[in-house]
Amino acid sequence: MIPSRIIPAEFYARDTVKVAPGLLGKWLVRVIGNKKLIGRIVEVEAYRGRDDPASHAFRGPTPRNAPMYRERGRAYVYFTYGNHYCLNIIAQKPGKPGAVLLRAIEPVKGLKSMRRFRPNVSDTELTNGPGKLTKALAIDKSLNEQDMTVEGPLFVTEPQTPETTCEVWRSTRIGVREGADKRWRFYVKGNPYVSKGRGLMETKLR
């Protein structure tokens, strides 16, 4: 077995806005029984704290956002719009709340399982949105606060196949009212699995 190179907690212990684009291209790994579902992260958004009116942590700690104040590299899974779960990874300098929302992944492994969890949609619709990818990977509140820096049901690794060169672009975040000026959405330009919503002020980052 190839040794898995899991992204360590130190990676996440930096400014959320710096960590977010760094997660693009990494592999999100979901282990269910003896099955491994893997997706390449292609779209993310950064959410910070007191300085970010779009963040759940904007008004300070509450029962729901408690994970945002916990150890870097843990999962923050919340339920929204009465239907969907969203997956975040806690990321910020020590002592401050912050998280990176995973908005889209490109399926790498475990396609059959993903199709089963999300029936009646085409493959490109499988994981191209925050609520879609959690459903395709069977991620719900039971994984809230899961440590994603160790081997377990949910973690992030370096890709084990060579990275095809890609452009990273940035824009405003999707679906937020407040904080609409901040360009804290990052995505792999042209990747077919990026969500359909369009942010404003799209420019090339690298």
Residues near DNA, by CB under 7 A? 45, 47, 54-57, 59, 62-65, 68, 76, 78-84, 86, 88, 99, 101, 118, 120-121, 125, 129-133, 173-178, 195, 197
Nearer to DNA, 11 or 47 (CB): 47
What spatial distance separates the first Cα and last Cα of the chain, rounded to whole Å?
A: 33
Length of the chain: 206
Q: Are 99 and 89 in contact (CB under 8 A)?
A: yes
Least distance from C-beta 141 to DNA, angstroms?
8
Nearer to DNA, 81 or 94 (CB): 81
| Token reading at 81 | 């719009």
Nearer to DNA, 122 or 165 (CB): 122
Least distance from C-beta 43 to DNA, angstroms?
11
Return d(Cα 89, Cα 75) in angstroms, integer.
5
Return d(Cα 16, Cα 80) in angstroms, integer.
22
Least distance from C-beta 5 to DNA, angstroms?
26
Least distance from C-beta 205 to DNA, angstroms?
20
Beta bridge mates, 155? 29
